[in-house]
Structure 1
Amino acid sequence: MFWRKKRLPYELQRPFQLDTKLRDMSFTIFDTETTGFSIASHDRLIEIGAVQVEGFYVTDRTFQTFVNPDRDIPEHITKLTSISQREVEGAPSSLEAIQAYFQFVEENQSGGWIGHHVSFDEMVLKNELQREKLTYDPPSSFDTMDLINYLNPTWDQQDLENYSNVFGTRTFERHRALGDALTTAHLFVEVLRCLEERGVTTLADLLRLRNGKAQQSIALF
């Protein structure tokens, strides 16, 4: 018998018109921390952080939760993130944490998700929900690295802090979900201002830019 995953009932994207000015939109910038990079097998989610951007400004509306990974956090991850086993032992389960994050997104009527290496963070959520035999309707997402590469294709660095230094934006606590989300948010709004100078002013423009980058990636294989 064919079995289907149950879909979580969250509205994670407000239906903005394609001609909506980016200055009139809202986005959710988010980040995750995990026990490692093998998220499809044994590594698990340990923190989610997010902040809301309205127009070209970072708001004070933030979200942060630790997540109980039901496994030990490797020592090198604790050194990198400063997240200890004791901090996550009484934390919500991955499903409870993701549901709380989805509620934050829904309440803020987000026009999409923004992240630095955003596909990794999306995959973290997807794999955690798959373990619970659940799925969700993902919103549009945009990667700051793709947007920056459009502005200057010769840049090959990928580190978030390096880009923040290049664009002169604020850097918050690194390798923590909320800190990296805030760092990405301030970088994102500065990138939006630069894109506006290049004629990227509407949601349709941003989608064309993103889809063009996706086609370039496909062409490489």
Structure 2
Amino acid sequence: MFWKKKKLTYELQQSLQLNTPLQDMSFTVFDTETTGFAIGANDRMIEIGAVQVEGFHVTDRVFQTFVNPSREIPSVISKLTTIQQSQVDTAPMPLPAIEEYFAFIEKNKSAGWVGHHVSFDEMVIKKELGRQKCTFEMPTSFDTMHLIRYLDPTGEQQDLGDYAKLFGTETFERHRALGDALTTAYVFTALLKKLDRQGVKTLADLLRIKNGGAHKFVPLS
């Protein structure tokens, strides 16, 4: 039997001109927490967190929800994240949780979403929706690690908290979705300001970097 997939129709990305200045753009910075890293197998999402960035500033518009993974959270994950089984057992199932997150993005008219190693969090969302036979139009995404490598391609990869210290930005609760989203958002705004000083002024400039533009050699600190 073939199951017809349902396409979610949320507007996850604004249609913008390529010459739109970065300072006029809004981004959704997000993070997920999971029961482990085997998201293509048995591991499931347990939390989504997001915050809106406008121009070069982090706003007070935030989103957070626990997600019911329909399985036990390993003790090592509970210890790392502080998320307890009782918090997810009564939480929304993945589809309504993700739809609530998508509604947050749509309301805030995002130009795309941002994450630290964003491909992992994108995959978490896609896998959870795939289990529900749902599809969606993936918005443009920007990875803070990609921007860091653009500015400093020879630098040694560091932890998100280390980058926050390097840029002098605030670190929020680590290994929690909203905390990591907020930490990433402040790192992202610091990166945007550095890029702006290097002549990266528009959406077209940012997309050029995303698509493999030539690296800059810029001190990060």
TM-score, normalised on structure 2? 0.94
Structure-1 residue corresponding to 2:218? none
1:99 aligned partner: 99
Counterpart residue number, 2:216: none
Shift of 1:182: 0.2
Counterpart position of 1:72: 72
**Residues 1:151 and 2:170 aligned together:** no
Please give the per-residue CA displacement for 1:36-72, whole angstroms capped at 9, x wherever unaligned: 0000110000000000000000000000000000000
CA distance, structure 1, for counterparts of residue 83 and residue 16 of structure 2: 37
SS in 1 for 2:98: helix
Q: 1:62 aligns to what?
A: 62
Please list every run of 5 or more consecutive structure 1 residues that lacks an aligned counterpart in the other structure.
Answer: 214-221
CA contact (8 A) 1:47 1:177 kept: yes
Q: Structure 1 residues 57 and 69 mapped into 2: Cα distance closer, same or farther (>3 Å)?
A: same
Question: Which residue number corresponds to residue 37 of structure 2?
Answer: 37
Counterparts of 2:162 and 2:4, CA distance in 1: 43
Q: Which residue of 2 aligns with 1:18?
A: 18
- Check whether the contact 1:8–1:136 (CA below 8 A) recurs between aligned residues: yes
Give the equivalent residue in structure 1 for 2:136.
136
What letter is aligned with 1:49?
A: G
- 1:122 is matched with 122
C-alpha displacement of 1:159: 1.1
Report the secondary structure of 2:153's partner residue: coil
Bigger mean CA deviation after superposition, 110-119 or 158-167 = 158-167
Please tell me the root mean square deviation across aligned C-alpha atoms, in Å.
1.1
Which residue matches 2:194?
A: 194
Identity %: 66
Q: In the aligned structure 2, how far is the partner of 1:26 from the partner of 1:88? A: 30
Residue in 1 that maps onto 2:182: 182
- Residue 166 of structure 1 corresponds to 166
Give the length in aligned residue pairs.
213
Q: Given that residues 145 and 158 in structure 1 are in contact (C-alpha distance below 8 angstroms), is that contact kept between their aligned partners in structure 2?
A: no
- Residue 3 of structure 1 and its aligned partner are, at CA, apart by 5.1
Equivalents in 2 of 1:3, 1:209: separation in Å?
39
* Structure 1 position 2, deviation (Å): 6.3
In the alignment, the residues of structure 2 paired with residue 4 and residue 38 of structure 1 have an alpha-carbon distance, to the nearest angstrom, of 26
Secondary structure of the corresponding residue to residue 49 of structure 1: strand
Unaligned runs of 5+ in 2: 214-221
3-state secondary structure, aligned to 1:47: strand
Deviation at 1:155, TM superposition (A): 1.4
Structure 1 stretch displaced more, 179-188 or 157-166: 157-166
The letter of the residue matching 1:99 is E
Contact map agreement 2:39 2:127 (CA 8 A) in 1 = yes
Alignment-derived partner of residue 83 in structure 2: 83
TM-aligned CA distance change 1:157 to 1:128, over 3 Å: same
Q: What is the CA-CA distance between 1:158 and the residue it aligns to?
A: 3.4
Is this contact kept in 1: 2:3–2:133, CA < 8 A?
no
Cα distance, 1:4 vs. partner?
A: 4.4
